[in-house]
């Protein structure tokens, strides 16, 4: 049996004749549209992103020069959603969008799904046709609540103007509390134009919604005991720790327990990369040391992480000898993919404050941990298998990895880094020096190409609002990813969001080409996009420098290292408009290390032919034969020593 979607169910209910009689007379009389604007102001919303349209026009009619929030007019609803995401991650506040019905709302589905996957607080306000038109296939009618239902934290269909303040207050609260996420508020045109009586604050009606934030004492004692019994602990830190602002608590736990820190993609920078306990990102394209430490650990402490497949590889072979402590505010994540020995439901920051106190009490009795042998093994992986790449390329183009490192070298320490999705995203996560939390914004779970530019605009709006623009925003993007939302250059220029854009232009869909090279017999089907070819017989479409200039931005092209250094220096000096640099990079550069999808992390390939955790070196079998026994014995000895 197929259940009806919310809007189908609503349209099947007989509609009583509308009366204008108000039973509530307390408050200031105004229209629903006026109440919506007033509610956003009273919620403290300072910046809103969106595009107007017919079914939401009464609301836009009430946005004036003296409205207390700034409105940023984007060029596509998807861009508005991603801008709100970038704003939310950069500032820690709820991102707000206002779009119209039908195609306006359906264009928001991707950002809503993206925010849902990455736990980004978002309130999406969409217009809807009038109550009497629902279910009639009216112009620009779509079942917005039904379409987005699987990918939202919560949703509302508002048919009565009097409900608007309460619903928006609830939506804002739900979006930012517990596990953050997107909330859709679909408001009929009827509710927008009808009169109501406004009062503030509103009483929230959320029966059953009471997120657990504080941990229970007995699980803290059990977790502390596991730390006491561990010889090879690893802190596996995810985006939930970032959303909880738990940077200091994670650092304290690592220092207390002498544990290494490995991170997921969204958690890059939660503890500065310069901290010796930070091993970097683990998983498919993580550092060798981070992946190896996780595979060999005897205690895995998942902190705001969800055991994503890109992290675990083959789940059954992930950290096979480890006991698991799993800390998450969302009880649905506990045990979803790996059953923990100690489950702890609660806000990461609050849990770690309590856990650190419990560990200190235990250490006062039992003494401090000594993981010298464990760190000896970890540091040997670090020394043997650092991040490296070929700085020279066969065709003389730039090495994309070198470009990313040079961007990081010249950037201010306070820089907010944003990426699109693809190889450039992985190189950024590997090679940028992250020294601050909330300094890295990327699409993780959904992997949305086109995320980068609008998210960077949102982050730059947030930087201007909260930090006086003193946190510059660099977008590292690919030529394919960038073209999916490049129209937002108009918003960046007109709304004074001077982002700095580095396009790693290899003229192909790079990550897809890498997979075609490795797994699909080098059959490069439909991955050449011919926008950065370095030959005169191919016209590059588009010319990114001309495209930037057409939108009022500064466009620069760099083909050599000297040109690249000068271009980056010039971009850092320009702060009155967006700057785009078209870096011509090698199309067959690959992201290493790599774990093939679905394979055990023990099969991680450091560089082609080198799989250190299998002790197999196809590039030099003779050397491997001579060294295998020695390496196996040495590693076994280090692990045994760590357990003493």
CA distances from 307 to 156, 497, 560 (A): 31, 36, 41
Backbone angles phi, psi at 553, to 5 degrees: -95, 170
Contact 514, 595 (CB under 8 A): no
Q: What is the CA radius of gyration of the chain?
A: 26
Between CA 455 and CA 86 the distance in angstroms is: 4
Residue closest to 421 by CA, chosen among 397, 444, 398: 444
Pairing mode of beta strands 440-441, 233-237: unpaired
139 is known as an active-site residue: yes
Element (H, E) at 226: helix 217-229
Does residue 229 have an active-site annotation? Answer: no
Q: Decide if 511 is catalytic.
A: yes
Q: Which residue from 181, 172, 178, 177 is spatially nearest to 200, judged by alpha carbons?
A: 172
Given the residues 140, 363, 561, 599, the one annotated as active site: 140
**Which pair of structure tokens corresponds to residue 120?**
């980004």
For residue 626, give Cα distances in angstroms to 380, 617, 634, 638, 639: 19, 11, 14, 20, 21
CA distance 598 to 247: 31
Which residue in 10, 85, 189, 590 is the catalytic one? 189
* Angle between helical axes of 423-431 and 400-410 (0-180°, round to 10): 50
Pairing outcome for strands 70-73 and 95-99: unpaired
- Alpha-carbon distance of 506 to 399, in angstroms, equals 10
For 468, counting Cβ atoms within 10 Å of its Cβ (0-12 exposed, 13-18 middle, 19+ buried), the class is exposed
Report residue 276 as tokens.
Answer: 């010796």
DSSP 27-57: SEEEEHHHHHHHHHHHTT--EEEE---GGGH
**3-class DSSP state for residue 509?**
coil
Give rounded-to-5 percent helix, strand, coil for the chain.
Answer: 45, 15, 40
For 503, phi and psi rounded to 5 degrees? -95, 115
Residue 358 is among the residues annotated as catalytic for this protein: no
Catalytic residue among 77, 333, 358, 533: 77
3-state secondary structure of 154: strand
Strand 278-281 relative to strand 95-99: parallel, antiparallel, unpaired? unpaired
Host H or E run for residue 185:
strand 182-188
108, 281, 449, 511: the active-site residue: 511
Q: What's the angle, vertex CA 252, arms to CA 248 and CA 255, rounded to 5?
A: 140
Of the residues 22, 139, 336, 360, which is catalytic? 139
Kindly state the tokens that stand for 95.
Answer: 């991102």
List the catalytic residues.
77, 139-140, 189, 511
């Amino acid at each position: 049996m197929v259940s009806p979607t919310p809007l189908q169910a609503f349209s099947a209910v007989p509609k009583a004749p509308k009366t204008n009689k108000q039973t509530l007379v307390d408050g200031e009389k105004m229209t629903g549209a006026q109440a919506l604007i007033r509610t956003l102001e009273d919620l403290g919303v300072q910046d809103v992103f969106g595009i107007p349209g017919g079914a939401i026009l009464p609301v836009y009619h009430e946005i004036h020069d003296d409205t207390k929030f700034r409105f940023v007019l984007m060029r596509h609803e998807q861009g508005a959603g991603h801008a709100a995401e970038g704003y939310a991650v950069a500032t820690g506040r709820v991102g707000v969008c206002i779009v119209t019905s039908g195609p306006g709302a359906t264009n928001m589905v991707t950002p809503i799904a993206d925010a849902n996957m990455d736990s980004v607080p978002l309130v999406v306000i969409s217009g809807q046709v009038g109550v009497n038109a629902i279910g009639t296939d009216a112009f620009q009618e779509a079942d917005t609540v039904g379409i987005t239902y699987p990918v939202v934290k919560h949703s509302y269909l508002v048919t009565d103007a009097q409900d608007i303040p309460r619903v928006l207050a609830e939506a804002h609260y739900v979006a930012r509390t517990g596990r953050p996420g997107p909330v859709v508020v679909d408001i009929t045109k009827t509710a927008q134009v009808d009169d109501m009586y406004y009062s503030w604050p509103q009483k929230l009606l959320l029966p059953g919604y009471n997120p657990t934030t504080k941990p229970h004492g007995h699980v803290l004692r059990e977790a502390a005991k596991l730390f006491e019994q561990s010889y090879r602990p690893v802190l596996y830190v995810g985006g939930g720790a970032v959303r909880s602002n738990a940077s200091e608590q994670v650092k304290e736990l690592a220092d207390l327990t002498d544990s290494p820190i490995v991170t997921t993609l969204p958690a890059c920078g939660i503890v500065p990369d310069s901290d010796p306990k930070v091993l970097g990102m683990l998983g498919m394209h993580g550092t060798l040391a981070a992946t190896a430490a996780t595979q060999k650990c005897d205690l895995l402490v998942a902190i705001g992480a969800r055991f994503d497949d890109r992290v675990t590889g083959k789940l059954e072979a992930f950290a096979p000898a480890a006991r698991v402590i799993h800390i998450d505010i969302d009880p649905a994540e506990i045990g979803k993919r790996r059953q923990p020995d100690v489950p702890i439901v609660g806000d990461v920051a609050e849990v770690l404050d309590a856990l650190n106190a419990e560990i200190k009490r235990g250490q006062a009795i039992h003494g401090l941990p000594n993981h010298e042998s464990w760190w000896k093994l970890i540091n040997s992986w670090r020394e043997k298998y650092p991040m490296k790449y070929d700085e020279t390329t066969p065709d003389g183009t730039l090495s994309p990895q070198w470009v990313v490192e040079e961007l990081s070298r010249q950037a201010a320490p306070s820089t907010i880094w944003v990426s699109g999705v693809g190889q450039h995203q992985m190189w950024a996560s590997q090679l940028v020096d992250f020294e601050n939390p909330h300094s890295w914004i990327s699409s993780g779970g959904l992997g949305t190409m086109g995320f980068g530019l609008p998210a960077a605009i949102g982050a730059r709006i947030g930087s201007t609002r909260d930090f006086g623009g003193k946190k510059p925003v660099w977008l590292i993007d690919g030529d394919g990813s960038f073209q999916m939302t490049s129209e937002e250059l108009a918003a960046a220029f007109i709304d004074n969001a001077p982002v700095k854009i580095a396009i790693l232009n290899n003229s192909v869909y790079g990550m897809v080409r890498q997979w075609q090279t490795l797994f699909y017999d080098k059959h490069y089907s439909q991955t050449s996009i011919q926008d950065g070819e370095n030959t005169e017989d191919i016209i590059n479409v588009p010319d990114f420098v001309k495209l930037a200039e057409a939108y009022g931005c500064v466009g620069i092209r760099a083909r050599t290292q000297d040109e690249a250094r000068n271009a980056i220096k010039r971009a850092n000096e320009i702060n009155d408009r967006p700057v785009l640099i078209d870096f011509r990079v090698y199309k067959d550069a690959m992201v290493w290390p790599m774990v093939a999808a679905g394979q055990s992390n023990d099969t991680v390939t450091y560089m082609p032919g080198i799989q250190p955790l299998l002790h197999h070196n196809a590039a030099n079998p003779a050397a491997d034969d001579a060294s295998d026994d020695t390496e196996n014995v040495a590693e076994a000895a280090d692990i045994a020593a760590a357990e003493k």
